[in-house]
Amino acid sequence: MSPYKTNARILLVEDDPVVALLELRSLRENGYTVEHASSGRAAIEFVHPTGDSFDLILMDIDLGADMDGVEAARQILERGDIPILFHSSHTDPEVIARTEEVTSYGYVVKNTGMIVLDTSIKMALRLAHSRKQQKEHELALQVSERELRQAYDILRLTIDTM
């Protein structure tokens, strides 16, 4: 069984209606459940306050006047650890460098084709799955350490009272 969901829920953040329509269709044909937000503010509103509403966000950079994709990503990540994959036509180093200011799962240049985008999405989902497992293991380790300390303290008290 694959470690990531093939029918993952994706939030597509794209302000160009024609591009959005084409991407929605392509993503759905590849088995993804996709919602669309046409601005950074709309994307933020789509994301549940606990951050668990989408498996991945496919974020454009240039989203019009209200806010760009980097700022939208920053605000979304304040709500939770949602994988964000930047998807933009920008290839200039300054724009790409700005995406490095926030935690993301990659950068895919538009018009590279659905195979590249689909592969990048799957890689991002696998990475997110691995990060989630690592966090769960770390939490389990902390619980085990706490339980061991408690058992040790009980043992010391028992020995001391003998």
pLDDT digits (tens, 9 = 90+) for 140-150: 667 777 777 77
Rg (C-alpha) for the chain, rounded Å, is 21
Average pLDDT, the chain: 84
Determine the pLDDT at residue 2. Answer: 44
- For residues 55 and 128, is the Cβ–Cβ distance under 8 A? yes
The pTM (predicted TM-score) of the whole model is: 0.75
Determine the pLDDT at residue 121. Answer: 93
Range 101-110 average pLDDT: 85
Whole-number Å distance between alpha carbons of 116 and 114: 5
Determine the pLDDT at residue 1. Answer: 35
Range 126-139 average pLDDT: 73
Specify the range with the lowest mean pLDDT, choosing from 13-17, 24-28, 96-100. Answer: 96-100
Q: Is 102 left (phi over 0), alpha (psi -120 to 50) or beta?
A: beta
Q: Which residues of 70-97 are buried (b: 16+ CB within 10 A; e: fewer)?
A: bbbbbebbeeeebbbbbbbebeeeebee
16-64 pLDDT per residue, tens: 999 999 999 999 999 999 999 999 999 998 887 765 688 999 999 988 8
Determine the pLDDT at residue 52. Answer: 61
Residues in the chain: 162
Give the residue among 32, 35, 38 at the shortest CA–CA distance from 18: 38
pLDDT band for 138, please (50, 70, 90 cuts). low
pLDDT at 4 over 70: no
Amino acid at 159: I
DSSP state of 15: S
